[in-house]
Amino acid sequence: MFETFQRDEYRISTDPVEFDLDAIHSYLVRAYWSQGIPRTTVERAVANSLCFAVLHKKAQVGFARVVTDSATFAYLCDVYILEEHRAKGLGKWLMECVMSHPSLQGLRRFSLATRDAHGLYRQFGFGDLSKPDTLMEILRPDIYR
């Protein structure tokens, strides 16, 4: 069912009841990868993904979302820890929880896109594309503006 992980005064939960959509949207609307994203889009994305909320007491201070079929493929996105909670190992712990989730085991491909966190993700086995010439995309970077 839902996973919960506890560490000191922080908790990570995959239970949607614990997700604070206002907090998630508040961060994503200003993030470089989703600037201006509408709240309804965030709601739909969260509802259709495997999500991880990082909670400090009852406040949501971090998040990760995985788009997956739980069998062959996953795409990690919308990962953040609020600025005032950084440098406490929460990003690494969040990734440990994501990577150990039962629905994300045995996948053929697990991908992500990042501008500045390569060092974190490399610790969990992510690397450069092995065959970038085989992947294609439709990218609309200004879709929310």
Q: For residue range 40-86, list pLDDT tens digits in order.
A: 999 999 999 999 999 999 999 999 999 999 999 999 999 999 999 99
Cβ burial, residue 8 (10 Å; 0-12/13-18/19+): exposed
4-134, CATH topology level = Aminopeptidase (3.40.630)
Segments making up each domain of the chain, as ranges: 4-134
User: Which tokens sit at 135?
Assistant: 């992947």
pTM above 0.85, yes or no: yes
CA gyration radius, the chain: 15
